[in-house]
């Protein structure tokens, strides 16, 4: 019986340890590097030597690409942003994360097919320069917070949150020329 108990303990202890170690990462809002402040869309947000500005957000049901329509699992969220480097050396801009109200996280898509001015996968910003572009997420349509990060070591990385409110644009209205001749029936 003591052999079964010690064998069970060998199997259970690592499983419990794994659960305890990963539990801290389940809630995206309370990451240790978060500044604790949430910024609004359009605000300049400085984290480390990088400054982010989320300029615009747009929900899309599909994206047109050279290979045909690109369909999401949920919905596409396209964010237009600027990233500036205030440091003295070239800095990498990592993939970013959306955080839902429930703490669920959605990683930025690593393929920009169908996204005009896609910021890219491997992106760097030289000192005193700014990169402009768009990034893409596939997530259920809702309000989110975008976690922007300083890049660098995980232990020293700084982050902040930018509120991305749910804003759905109405479908485009076709303009009618009141002076046009009606089509023959």
* Cα distance between residue 73 and residue 68, in whole Å: 16
Domains in the chain (CATH in brackets) are: 27-164 (2.60.40.1240)
pLDDT for 33 equals 54
Could you give the 3-state DSSP secondary structure of residue 181?
Answer: coil
> Is residue 70 within 8 Å of residue 114, measured between CB atoms?
yes
Please compute, for residue 92, the number of CA atoms within 13 A of its CA located in the half-sphere on the CB side. 9
Phi/psi of residue 21, nearest 5 degrees: -70, -35
Q: What is the pLDDT of residue 151?
A: 84
Residue 14 confidence (pLDDT): 38
What are the start-end ranges of the H helices in the chain?
Answer: 2-23
Please report the pLDDT score of residue 27 as a whole number. Answer: 37
SS (H, E, C) 84-116: EECCCCCEECCCCEEECCCCCEEECCCCCCCCC
pLDDT tens digits along 103-125? 999 999 999 999 999 999 999 99
Q: Which two tokens stand for residue 20?
A: 């305890």
Sign of CA dihedral 17, 18, 20, 24: positive
User: What's residue 113's pLDDT?
Assistant: 94
Sign, CA torsion 20/25/29/33: positive
Give the separation between CA 132 and CA 2, rounded to whole angstroms: 64
Q: What is the pLDDT of residue 78?
A: 97
Instruction: Enter the tokens of residue 108.
Output: 């930025």
Q: Are 48 and 150 in contact (CB under 8 A)?
A: yes
Residue 141 exposure: Cα atoms within 13 Å on the Cβ side:
11
- Determine the pLDDT at residue 155: 85
Secondary structure element (H or E) that encloses residue 134, with its range: strand 130-139
- pLDDT for residue 183: 57
Which residue numbers in the chain have pLDDT < 50? 1-30, 32, 179
């Amino acid at each position: 019986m003591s052999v079964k108990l010690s064998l069970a303990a060998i199997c259970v202890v690592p499983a419990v340890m794994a659960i305890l170690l990963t539990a801290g990462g389940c809630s995206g809002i309370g990451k240790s590097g978060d500044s604790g402040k949430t910024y609004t869309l359009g605000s300049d947000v400085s984290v480390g030597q990088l400054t982010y500005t989320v300029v615009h957000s747009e929900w899309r049901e599909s994206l047109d690409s050279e290979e045909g329509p690109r369909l999401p699992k949920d919905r596409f969220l396209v964010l237009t942003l600027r990233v500036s480097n205030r440091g003295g050396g070239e800095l990498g801009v990592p993939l970013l994360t959306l955080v839902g109200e429930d703490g669920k996280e959605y990683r930025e898509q690593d393929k920009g097919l169908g996204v005009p001015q896609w910021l890219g996968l491997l992106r760097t910003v030289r000192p005193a320069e700014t990169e402009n572009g768009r990034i893409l997420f596939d997530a259920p349509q809702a309000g989110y917070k975008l976690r922007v990060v300083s890049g660098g070591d995980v232990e020293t990385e700084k982050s902040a949150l930018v509120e991305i409110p749910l804003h759905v644009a109405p479908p485009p209205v076709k303009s009618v020329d009141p002076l046009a001749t009606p089509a023959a029936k």
